[in-house]
């Protein structure tokens, strides 16, 4: 699975580049595709490919969720603490409400699908990871999880329809975050304890879909992301001889045209040419890595994949500090900006290595031990 780690490393660096270049080297930022969305799509394809396989190989919902909790939350909570400390110098984003809804949304990671901003900007993608986990769990418990190609096509079609119908979240206000927070905690407790596990899985899966379509910032975009993730699962099934390949092409076509008629598609990176180019590059990167998976993967890329979660979550809070120390960096000389960029990347990688060694790695090992013990 080293090729998947390498893909995570490539995705993380692309997101860092998207956020760093406008501040330090704006002339190098490409506009014929979106680097950040390219990296995010690579991440989602990897998650779609491996997460359902992880659940199925375990065959145990409790073990799966123990593993996910210890994989995601320790570093996530650390970054929340870091962001709050940085708020001493850089105010917290206005998109983060200062009430119970903000706490609930961060607790569940369902930030984007309850229309609440995260303390660290990249946290929005974790919303769709969590929606995917909840939905896959419900499908697994029901025994209908192998029809991944159908789900990819369905969510691709929903993305098109949602783009035509919705121009804002239907379920507004703070209550989606608060209610989903209560349901999430209750349902997760049931999944881990085994009490009312089936009911909890169905409830959480249904809640995830409702939030995605009726409470998310951009419903068509959320549905398109789920289509991409299920496309990754469809690839896995085709590769192992348990599903056809054609749904991959069908869902890709639906995702490609999903923003064309969307009301909420005014950003430059969802204009058809840029959007399709970004999708194609992400798909080509995934396909190339898969084709080369039997060859020796460069250790640097594998290492970047191991620390990619830390790189992804830490890079933006760290980047927000730079203007506090150096002002508008675009006014500095090229030599100074290159030095700042190099120093920033070196600091980011060093911190990411440290958080992986001290937080991520130990937490993952503990999660695996607990998962094996409860399986």
SS (H, E, C) 63-81: HHHHHHHHHHHHHHHHHHH
Q: Could you tell me the sign of the dihedral formed by the alpha carbons of 307, 312, 314, 320, in that order?
A: positive
Q: Among 215, 235, 265, where does a domain finish?
A: 265
User: Would 9 be classed as within a structural domain?
Assistant: yes
Do 279 and 359 reside in the same domain of the chain?
Answer: yes
Burial degree of 291 (CB within 10 A; 0-12, 13-18, 19+) = exposed
Do 356 and 228 reside in the same domain of the chain?
Answer: no
Do 145 and 188 reside in the same domain of the chain?
Answer: yes
Check whether 375 has a pLDDT greater than 70. no
User: Would 210 be classed as within a structural domain?
Assistant: yes
Task: Please indicate, yes or no, whether the overall pTM of this predicted structure exceeds 0.75.
Answer: yes
Do 99 and 15 reside in the same domain of the chain?
Answer: no
User: Would 82 be classed as within a structural domain?
Assistant: no
pLDDT digits (tens, 9 = 90+) for 300-336: 889 999 999 999 999 999 998 888 888 888 888 999 9
Do 126 and 51 reside in the same domain of the chain?
Answer: no
Q: Among 265, 297, 328, where does a domain finish?
A: 265
Check whether 372 has a pLDDT greater than 90. no
User: Would 87 be classed as within a structural domain?
Assistant: no
118 phi and psi, to 5 degrees?
Answer: -90, 155
Q: CA–CA distance from 137 to each of 5, 109, 171, 365 (Å)?
A: 24, 16, 24, 22
User: Would 1 be classed as within a structural domain?
Assistant: yes
The closest alpha carbon to 68, from 144, 130, 146, belongs to 130
User: Would 71 be classed as within a structural domain?
Assistant: no
The count of structural domains within the chain is: 2
Distance CA 375, CA 192 (A): 11
Do 134 and 211 reside in the same domain of the chain?
Answer: yes
Distance CA 168, CA 172 (A): 9
pLDDT digits (tens, 9 = 90+) for 241-284: 999 999 999 999 999 999 999 998 888 899 999 999 999 999 99
Do 251 and 284 reside in the same domain of the chain?
Answer: no
Per-residue pLDDT band for 59 (boundaries 50, 70, 90) equals confident
pLDDT digits (tens, 9 = 90+) for 142-183: 999 999 999 999 999 999 999 999 988 999 899 999 999 999
User: Would 75 be classed as within a structural domain?
Assistant: no
Do 46 and 97 reside in the same domain of the chain?
Answer: no
Q: Among 249, 265, 281, where does a domain finish?
A: 265
Domain that holds residue 119: 92-265
Do 260 and 291 reside in the same domain of the chain?
Answer: no
**Residue 213 confidence (pLDDT):** 96
């Amino acid at each position: 699975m080293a090729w998947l780690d390498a893909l995570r490393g490539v995705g993380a660096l692309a997101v860092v580049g998207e956020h760093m270049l406008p501040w330090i080297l704006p002339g190098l930022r490409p506009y014929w595709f979106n680097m950040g969305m390219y990296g995010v799509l690579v991440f989602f394809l990897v998650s779609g490919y491996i997460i359902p396989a992880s659940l199925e190989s375990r065959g145990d919902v409790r073990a799966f969720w123990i593993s996910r909790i210890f994989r995601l939350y320790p570093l996530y909570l650390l970054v929340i603490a870091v962001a709050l400390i940085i708020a001493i110098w850089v105010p917290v984003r206005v998109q983060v409400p200062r009430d119970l809804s903000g706490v609930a949304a961060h607790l569940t990671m369902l930030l984007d699908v309850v229309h609440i901003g995260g303390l660290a900007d990249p946290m929005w993608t974790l919303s769709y990871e969590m929606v995917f986990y909840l939905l896959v769990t419900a499908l697994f418990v029901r025994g209908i999880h192998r029809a991944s190609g159908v789900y990819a096509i369905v969510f691709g079609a929903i993305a098109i329809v949602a783009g035509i119908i919705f121009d804002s979240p239907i379920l507004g206000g703070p209550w989606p975050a608060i209610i989903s927070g209560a349901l999430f905690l209750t349902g997760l407790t049931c999944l881990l304890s085994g009490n009312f596990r089936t009911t909890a899985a169905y409830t959480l899966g249904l809640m995830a879909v409702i939030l995605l379509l009726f409470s998310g910032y951009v419903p068509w975009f959320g549905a398109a992301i789920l289509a991409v993730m299920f496309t990754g699962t469809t690839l896995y099934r085709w590769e192992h001889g348990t599903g056809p390949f054609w749904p991959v092409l069908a869902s890709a076509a639906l995702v490609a045209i999903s923003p064309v008629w969307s009301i909420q598609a005014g950003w430059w990176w969802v204009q058809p040419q840029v959007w399709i180019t970004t999708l194609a590059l992400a798909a080509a990167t995934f396909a190339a890595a898969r084709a080369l998976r039997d060859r020796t993967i460069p250790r640097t890329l594998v290492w970047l994949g191991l620390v990619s979660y830390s790189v992804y979550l830490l890079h933006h809070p760290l980047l927000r500090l730079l203007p506090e120390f150096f002002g508008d960096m675009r006014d500095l000389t090229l030599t100074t900006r290159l030095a700042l960029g190099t120093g920033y990347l070196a600091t980011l990688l060093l911190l990411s290595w440290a958080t992986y060694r001290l937080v991520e790695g130990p937490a993952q090992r503990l999660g695996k031990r607990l998962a094996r013990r409860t399986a």
